[in-house]
Amino acid sequence: MSKIEVTLTEPSSVLFDIEKRAHAYPWSEIVFFQPLSAGTLWWSISVDKRIVGFANTQLVADELTLHNIAIDPRYQGRGFGKFLLNDILNYADKHNALMFLEVRESNASAIHVYQQAGFSIVGRRPNYYASDSGREDALVMRREIS
Ligand SMILES: CC(C)(COP(=O)(O)OP(=O)(O)OC[C@H]1O[C@@H](n2cnc3c(N)ncnc32)[C@H](O)[C@@H]1OP(=O)(O)O)[C@@H](O)C(=O)NCCC(=O)NCCS
- The rounded percent of the chain whose pLDDT value lies above 70 is 100
Taking 80 as the threshold, does the pLDDT of residue 146 lie above it?
A: no
What is the residue type of 131? S
128: annotated active-site residue: no
Q: What is the pLDDT of residues 124-136, one digit of tens each?
A: 999 999 999 899 9
Residue 46 has pLDDT above 90, yes or no: yes
Q: What is the pLDDT of residue 133?
A: 86
CA of 108 to the centre of ligand 1 (A): 8
User: Which residue among 71, 88, 102, 140 is best mutated to probe the pocket of ligand 1, counting the most ligand atoms within 8 A of its Cβ?
Assistant: 71
Would you say 47 and 78 are in contact if contact means Cβ atoms under 8 Å apart? no
> Strand 50-60 to strand 98-104: parallel, antiparallel, or no bridges (unpaired)?
unpaired
Residue from 63, 60, 59, 38 nearest 122 by CA: 63
125 Cβ below 6 A of ligand 1:
no
Q: Is 110 in the pocket of ligand 1 (CB under 6 A)?
A: yes
CATH superfamily of the domain spanning 4-143: Gcn5-related N-acetyltransferase (GNAT) (3.40.630.30)
Helix (H) or strand (E) holding 6: strand 4-9
What's residue 1's pLDDT? 86
Which entry of 102, 105, 128, 129 is annotated as an active-site residue?
Answer: 102
Q: What is the pLDDT of residue 137?
A: 97
pLDDT tens-digit map of 1-41: 899 999 999 999 999 999 999 999 999 999 999 999 999 99
Q: Angle 108-116/80-94 helices, nearest 10 degrees?
A: 50
* 102 carries an active-site annotation: yes
Cα dihedral 145, 6, 110, 91, rounded to 10, equals 10
